[in-house]
Structure 1
Amino acid sequence: MVEPESLMMDLGSELFNYTTGRFLANDAHRLQERRRVFNIPGLFSIVAKAMNCDIRQIIDFRKLAEGGLNRIFLITLDTKFQLVARIPYPLLIPKAYAVASEVATMGFLRLKGLPIPKVYDYSSTYNNEAETEYILMEYAKGNDLSQIWSDLKEDEIISLMDQLAKVESTLMSISFPAGGSIYYASDLKELSGNEGIPLDDQAESIAFEKRFCIGPDVSVPLWYGRREQLNVFRGPYEDAKSVLLVGANKELGYLNQFGAPRAPYERFRREYYNYEQQLPSDHARNLDYYLRLAPSLVPDDASLSAFCIRHPDLTDSNIRVSTDSGSLQILSVLDWQHAAVLPLFLHAGMPQFIQNEEDEVSQKMIKPKLPDGFDELPEEDQDRERELLRRRLVHYHYTMSTATHNRIHHKGLVYPLNSFCRRIFIHASAIWEGETIKLLYALIELVVDWERVVTDGTSCPVMFTVEEVDAAEKLYQALTNAEMGKRLLRGHVGYGEETWVPATHYEAAKAFGQELKRRTLKACADDEVTTEEQYAVVEANWPLDDMDEEELEEYK
């Protein structure tokens, strides 16, 4: 038996703190965002009630994993039965809606036969014995696909892509009366005061708290930071047009209420703006342009505008597989936080960990193979060619499996405007971080190609001058240098998003990052052209230094 009271004695315990990684910039702030103290005896009591057992039957409680938004605990009973408790970090948004929607999404999709863990109990608020939001769910056995992903052979890739395409086919074949996110009607009633739009023809005999419905979209950009305070429409959506408009209207509402001049959040990019603050009115103007153009992006083919659901962030780390039978089998698909029901033409696309679209061979959909003369190549070159082949095979067989087993998704993938529509929609919905160039560049592309995109003869309601197009092109191309510099620095130092590094790598990476800063500043000092003012702004905007807390808050 575990003594839960003893686990509460050390509030600095790894049970409450993020220990998987560190952050080269604003480390203390990022760790605090992921710190969550909760009542362990209270959680044990909840587990006992949910599993109909005695608290004394809980013989082990330990941290199993940490993700981007949640901490996972493995709970073992004396019967050897195991379950997990998932507790969100404080940074999860919109917390109550996100937890309630994920639980309902998992329950709904399980009923459709998808391999998703069972939920035993949950709370979307901290008003409970555990004093935290939580989800108690089935422990998904097997291994993370990420553990074997880089070593897959072609026959394993083919099998896995077939299975994945069939799972996605089941998922995307579900029809919905509206767009948004899935909830239990009782939860949505408690959260928002309404019961949403009912799903399926649910029998009247089903208890109200078990009925599914569509309610507000929980996609992060709609709620991020002070946006959660806005009284704006977030769904449910009645049609594709309302989906295209919701994110831009939200961001306009934010700019009108909270917008203020600010430097680009990405410090790599500030040089190309002369280290000057940018006006929110520039982005507001482009959002207005988008709102005038967006209705014309709705496809003429109604099937492309049909509402469907996909996994919100499918990666190799949230697919659990088994190799017990000698072949790979998908056992579970995890992490359904922020799932949304959207039109097919906005959902269609390759998962990031599968797509290899920048590669010429993958673009042409040529059956990949090792190059001629492979055996004569140096060992290092052979390793590089094997990895390139694996990426190409994954891309190729996912496409082929999707064409065979998931005709719905394949239709969206081959829709000529698929990539562009998703891109401009994402840029218009994104949170404003002191830049508008990505949206502006996409708008110019749409206006220039208007007659190809919009075939009904409607005239384009927006025009750009030659000077505006040239300036945007110049800035956009210049910023590719910033992205290249960012990739080089990340590659040299070895950090990920938000400057994350494994905890064991933190001290070495921090020291190396500071050494690179020293070398950069020395090069500036040795350059006779560099002024004291230029030196100062380079020093003040080093991307691996802490950003002032007040400045961080500005971007929310």
Structure 2
Amino acid sequence: MKSQKPNENPLLDPLFNYTSGRWLWDEATHLRKRHQPFNVNGLKAVASKSVNARCCTSITKLSEGSYNKVFLLIMDNGVQAIARIPNPYLPPRVSTASEVATLDFLRTELDIPVPRVLAWSNNKDQSVEAEYIIMEMAPGEELGKSWMSMDISERVNIVSQLANIQARACSIDFKSYGSLYYRGDIDGCLDIPGISDRFCIGPSAAMSFWEAEREAMDKYRGPWTSPESYAKDVARREIEWIRRFAKPRDRADPLRQSTSQESPDSHIQLLDKYLKIIPLVLPSNVDLYRPTIWHPDLHSGNIFIKNQKIVSIIDWQGCMSLPLFMNCKLPKFLRINGPLLFDLPPATGLTAEEKKETLLRYEHTQLQRFYISKFKNLDPHIFQAISYPHAIIRQQLIDFAGSTWEDDGLFFLRDMMHNVWRNWDEMTSKPNEKCPITFGPKEISSHIAEGDIWNNYKAFFDSLDIPLDGWVHPEDFKSKAGVMRNLARELLDSADDRDEARQALRAWKLSDPNSTSLCSKVMDI
């Protein structure tokens, strides 16, 4: 984006508003959650002071997502800095405080390449009028920009460096689970024995513990001293939230999912089953309980390289000290959709494109195996955590327990529960105990039917080339919104009860194809 000046009307200012995409339905709600005004001159002044410049000459929005806006600030002395301002989506105070402490800890205690924080505040009552973090600009370029053009030896080199960094990040036993903070920044923290007393472990700053009305629920956030208490609190948090705040979609709502997904009782019953099995499926090897930190979203856009060396890893927001078996996950760019390919098949009969795809899958498999094998010597416990039987099922079981009300979340948790039930002898750490839950034939057939509904729902939107979350690039908005307008007309014309269909379509809040992101309008139906 080009350098921008603040608009006199904060409601129309692209610095404050989300401008990187559009939504095909309920756009006003999405934009409101991402609208964050701040004092531009105040931010410039703080930034210039942090790098000993006289003034900041330009501010440019680089990127934005659900949780933050990221700006490039250039000073009169040529120094560049990055400013991150959280959207209202994020919990006030804790997210900023934890990320700053985490970056400082990683850089000063573990010598991990992360941006140095130049200035920050988690208090809106100051000159910037919003929380902010100002940090050094990461040198080099994103790994994702050159990964595919690297030869295999260069990729192996990067993967080796990354494994070394991850092992270093996991070298500290924090003794408890939660988020990192500076001592004194938040109440209820626990000491980290053997580490600088500047830091402590406090309540989780992860979004899942604060979003929606969970911010008002002053429990279930830790810190925790056992993996069982953490895993149980994830479900207990959701049970309380569902009982107090969950609102099923209206039967006429086109985005309504299965009957069970919209039933609070169905969620609570399944989460109660989860609470019964979770103590019995934690790993038997207590070495895998070690509280460690691991990057929460390690993809190639968060890794910066220069001259074939990793020089910075960014975006540690939401990082937590968690049990090793929960935290150890493959970097996203090393994960493979579909089966691993351990041996190259004969090339006879393959097209040029098929040969290319086969070679890429084979190389990707080898890189993944190399990354995992590195930990045999670096840290055998990490190797065990990644290689542990059904490791992903355990991780997803706990993760999915914390998001059953989202989209088709109940189905995905139930699917993990079915996996545990079917593989009980391999999953349980208590081989002499029977699985305390069961699924009858009707429950299984109902679950399969829900899966078919989900697949059909997804296939329908895929056929329209419409994403399930309704988000599209700005340049695609008008044409995609036009597709939704035609769909609405077809549904209305084919309805037996046009008034009921019109009511349902209006509840969808489809976006008008001719509206702008700064002046979103709902389609007239």
Alignment-derived partner of residue 294 in structure 2: 310
User: Residue 59 in 1 paired to residue 57 in 2?
Assistant: yes
Give the whole-Å Cα distance in 1 for the aligned partners of 2:323 and 2:161.
24
- Aligned partner of 1:372 in structure 2 is 347
| Further displaced range: 16-25 or 411-420 | 16-25
Residues 261 and 278, structure 1, Cα contact 8 Å, conserved in 2: yes
Q: Residue type of the partner of 1:155?
A: S
Q: 1:50 Cα shift?
A: 3.0
CA–CA distance in 1 between the matches of 2:360 and 2:252?
Answer: 34
Change (3 A) 1:200 1:228: same
2:313 equivalent to 1:320: no
Q: CA deviation at 1:171?
A: 1.1
- Give runs of ≥4 in structure 1 deviating > 4 Å: 263-269, 380-394, 400-406, 486-489, 515-518, 530-535, 541-544
CA contact (8 A) 2:53 2:77 kept: no
CA contact (8 A) 1:172 1:408 kept: no
Distance change in 2, residues 1:157/1:264 (3 Å): farther
Q: What residue number does 1:551 align with?
A: none
- Residue 450 of structure 1 corresponds to 424
Quote the residue 2:477 is aligned against: 506
Given the alignment of the two structures, is residue 257 of structure 1 paired with residue 251 of structure 2, yes or no? no
Aligned equivalent of 1:296: 280
Secondary structure of the corresponding residue to residue 198 of structure 1 = coil
Change (3 A) 1:256 1:230: same
> Runs of 5+ in structure 1 lacking a partner?
548-556
Write the distance in 2 (CA, Å) between the matches of 1:91 and 1:31: 11
Q: Secondary structure at the match of 1:218?
A: coil
CA deviation digits over 1:400-443, x for unaligned, max 9?
A: 44556454332111100311111211121115247533223333
Per-residue CA distance 1:438-495 (angstroms, 9 max, x = gap): 2233333333433332244123333333332332233334433334444454xx34x5
Amino acid in structure 2 at the alignment position of 1:463: T
**Match for residue 205 of structure 2?**
218
Report the AA paired with residue 40 of structure 2. I
Could you say which residue in structure 2 is the equivalent of 1:78?
76
Asked whether the 8 Å contact 2:84–2:133 carries over to 1, the reply is yes
**Which of the numbers 350, 353, 365 marks the counterpart of 2:330?**
350
For normalisation by structure 2, the TM-score amounts to 0.86
Distance 1:504 1:391 in 2: 33
Matched, 1:96 2:101: no
Alignment of 1:3-14 (within 5 A): 7=6, 9=8, 11=10, 12-14=12-14
Tell me which residue corresponds to 2:190.
197
In structure 2, what is the equivalent of residue 105 of structure 1?
Answer: 102
Q: Which has the higher helix share?
A: 1
Tell me how far 1:243 sits from its aligned partner. 1.3
What is aligned with 2:149? 151
1:173-252 matches, cutoff 5 A: 173-188=171-186, 193-194=187-188, 196-202=189-195, 211-252=198-239
Match of 1:84, SS? strand
TM-score, normalised via structure 1 length:
0.81
Q: Which moved more, 1:115-124 or 1:11-20?
A: 11-20
For residue 464 of structure 1, the aligned residue among 427, 439, 450 is: 439
Equivalent position SS for 1:95: coil
Preserved CA contact (<8 Å) 1:521 1:539: no
Equivalent pair of 2:261/2:411 in contact (CA under 8 Å) = no
| Correspondence for 2:19 | 19
Aligned with 1:173: secondary structure?
coil
The separation in 2 between residues aligned to 1:534 and 1:245, in whole angstroms, is: 46
> What SS does structure 2 have at the residue aligned with 1:197?
coil
For 2:42 and 2:207, the matched residues in 1 are separated by: 30
What one-letter code is carried by the residue in structure 2 that aligns with 1:500?
W
Secondary structure of residue in 2 paired with 1:213: strand
Counterpart amino acid of 2:28?
A: A
Gap runs ≥5 in structure 2 = 513-525
What amino acid is aligned across from residue 220 of structure 2 in structure 1?
F
CA contact (8 A) 1:370 1:386 kept: no
Q: Please give the alpha-carbon distance, in whole angstroms, between the structure 2 residues aligned to 1:128 and 1:393.
A: 52
Q: Give the conservation status (yes or no) of the 8 Å contact 1:166–1:406.
A: no
Mapped partners of 1:452, 1:349: distance in 2: 20
- Cα distance in 1 for partners of 2:366, 2:503 equals 43
Q: 1:265 to 1:145 in 2, by over 3 A?
A: farther
Q: Is the 8 A contact 1:348 1:412 kept in 2?
A: yes
Q: Does 1:428 align with 2:401?
A: yes
2:316 is aligned with 1:332: no
